[in-house]
Amino acid sequence: LAFPEPLERLIRALERFPGVGPRSAERMALHVLRSDPEEVADLAVALRDARMQTARCETCGNVTLRSPCAICSDAERDRSCVCVVEGPREVAKMEDAKVHSGLYHVLMEGFAPREGAAPEGRALQALRRRVESGEVREVVLATAPDREGEGAALLVCEALEGTPAVISRLARGVPVGTRLEYLHGEILAEAFRERRVWSARDPRAEG
Ligand SMILES: [Zn+2]
């Protein structure tokens, strides 16, 4: 071992975070050693609380204090329209823009889709089950218009093959490569209102 065992153990644990390689893990671990012991204790508690005191909504997969989440439990929302987003940030963005009165489906585990995480099979299966339960008439794809987002959109289409739901996609007002979270609320609202029926088989259909 290059370092005493507890430090090695910390480095191994940090390496498991997305986007953290051995070098950064080592830098972070050495930073912990230089930190105030109270700050380190606070960090340990924050890690545990974030894990233990939150859950993923059993219906939509969003991060919540209690499952099902407030959006899924809201009887006023339109249960026939489900908007598929990459992560919790996008849900927050859509909610801020007040464009969607329906429900959501959150694809990504790890919430770092830019780092190459693929949508989990589990999230796709859960979406298919929701659609098959019969309430959902439209699935709106609100994944980013970049490589990962397009890939996710295709996987959703595949997962929903043979179900009666109409699949639509945000209008092309969204600049290529822009993540939803960076969009101005009004642009997002317009892209949502102008959404088009979308088919993975014929991408030209989105016009
Ligand atoms: Zn939910």
Q: How far is the CA of 115 from the centre of ligand 1 (A)?
A: 24
Q: How far is the CA of 204 from the centre of ligand 1 (A)?
A: 32
Q: What separation in Å is there between the alpha carbon of 2 and the centre of ligand 1?
A: 45
Q: Report the separation in Å between the CA atom of 173 and the middle of ligand 1, taken as the mean of its atom positions.
A: 27
- Cα–ligand 1 centroid distance for 207 (angstroms): 31
Burial class (CB in 10 A: 0-12, 13-18, 19+), 98: exposed
Distance (Å, whole) CA 189 – CA 197 = 17
Task: Tell how far the Cα of 197 is from the centroid of ligand 1, in angstroms.
Answer: 24
Which pLDDT tens digit goes with each residue over 79-118? 999 999 988 999 999 999 888 999 999 987 533 344 455 5
The string of pLDDT tens digits covering residues 11-43 is: 999 999 988 999 999 999 999 999 999 999 999
Task: Say if pTM beats, i.e. exceeds, 0.85.
Answer: no
Token pair in block for residue 91: 């849900």
pLDDT for the residue 203: 47
Q: How far apart are CA 167 and CA 206, in angstroms?
A: 11
